[in-house]
A = this chain, B = another copy of it.
Amino acid sequence: MKLKIKKDILLSNLNYVARAVSTKNVIPVLAGIKFTLNENGLYLEASDESIVIKTFIDKSNIQEINETGSIVIPGRYILDITRKIPHEIINLETDGLKILITTPSSEYNLNGIDATEFPDYNLDLIKTPIILEQKHLLNIINQTSFAASMQESRPILTGINIKIDGDILEAVATDSYRLAVKKINLDNSINDNIDIVIPKSSLIELSKLLNEDEKIELHIFNNKIIFKFDNLLFQSRLLNGTFPNISTLIPTEHNIEVIVNLDELYNIIDRTSLLSDTDKNIIQMKITNNELITSCDTLQVGKVEERIIVEKNNNNNLKISFNARFMMEALKSFQSEKIKMLLINETKQFIIKALNDESLIQLIVPVRTY
């Protein structure tokens, strides 16, 4: 392998794939980035076994391709060296398993690994992928992933459930104490029913690579999904198991509907939770005639009461307790100025929606404090 390439182009592509470089080093070759140079251009590929990221630099963006070939280069070193080299053009050349990186004033000689040792992740694509706007996928991830579980005790809940039926895509995440549902309309309808669970961690890594303005293809397989966008392929494993059926969990009726300014509610919960027990983070919320009062009383610390004005649909009052962090994360997922809360009683889960938009539902299970 031998090529000349602009530092900036190599660096931006290394930054993409570096997100997948394994830092645990169980398999030494996965601490590396696989370089494959052919007549069409340069492929970079890295994996931590959970995700695979592959990027392509077209030959039109490479100064010189002198000799095709492939090798695995230690990820940390090639990234740091490329980032810190002050020259515009980098020469990359292999000599057996040695990698030579040269500039007019420096010479680096790194130990590589044979490219055949790098696992073959088979990133073949399907013919009819699902196509989304990247910004819609970004919304799905940002508005649901926080509700997925961090606990490995129920692995399936560490993922986000994506279902597609016709032209409706529904994403659900839950840790069993709260739940987030986001629905979007696809541009075209698909024939198969899709029902997969993608690890939250994969989607969060993916979200860092997404930009607002382009489309993304979803290539769904039995046990994996490949996202294709820009000059990138991003593969994630899928989680096995049955995701809870949420249709019975979301209440269809309610006793009180409260309309409230989103920022005001967020801020009083934030301040009230300052005095909560840091582990449990539980605060009370009282809804009276036209006021919403949050409060917290922690023996060692002290107590607090904060209040705001709200709109209500009837004279029913309610007192309820919940985890303040869960509530704040749910509220943060909305962009509207006002939101509505639909509540039944102090023991039943309640839901939060934007005022005139059913596409996002946040559900919170209250905490019993008596």
Contacts and interface: CB of A to CB of B under 8 A. Distances in A.
Nearest to A86: B267
A122 interface: no
Interface in A59-112: 74, 77, 80-81, 84-86, 98-99, 105-111
B275 A108 contact: yes
A2 interface: no
Interface string A242-283: 000000000000000000000000011011001100000000
A108 B304 contact: yes
Contact of A111 (B85, B111, B302): B302
Given A77-B275, A275-B77, A302 B108 contact: yes
Contacts of A300: 111
B106 A271 contact: yes
Contacts of A270: 84
Contacts of A99: 302
A308 interface: yes
A161 B85 CA distance: 39
B274 A105 contact: no
A247 B274 CA distance: 54
Q: In the complex, which of the residues A86, A105, A307 has the most CB atoms of chain B within 10 Å of its own CB atom? A: A105
Interface in A279-322: 300-308
Q: How many copies does the complex hold?
A: 2
A302 B100 CA distance: 10
A106 B306 contact: yes
Given A302-B77, A302-B111, A307 B271 contact: no
Given A111-B301, A301-B111, A268 B307 contact: no
A84 B274 contact: yes
B109 A77 contact: no
Interface of A: 74, 77, 80-81, 84-86, 98-99, 105-111, 267-268, 270-271, 274-275, 300-308
10 contacts: A84-B270, A99-B302, A105-B268, A105-B306, A106-B268, A107-B304, A108-B302, A109-B302, A109-B304, A111-B302
Given A105-B306, A109-B303, 6 more contacts: A74-B301, A84-B271, A84-B274, A99-B302, A105-B308, A108-B302
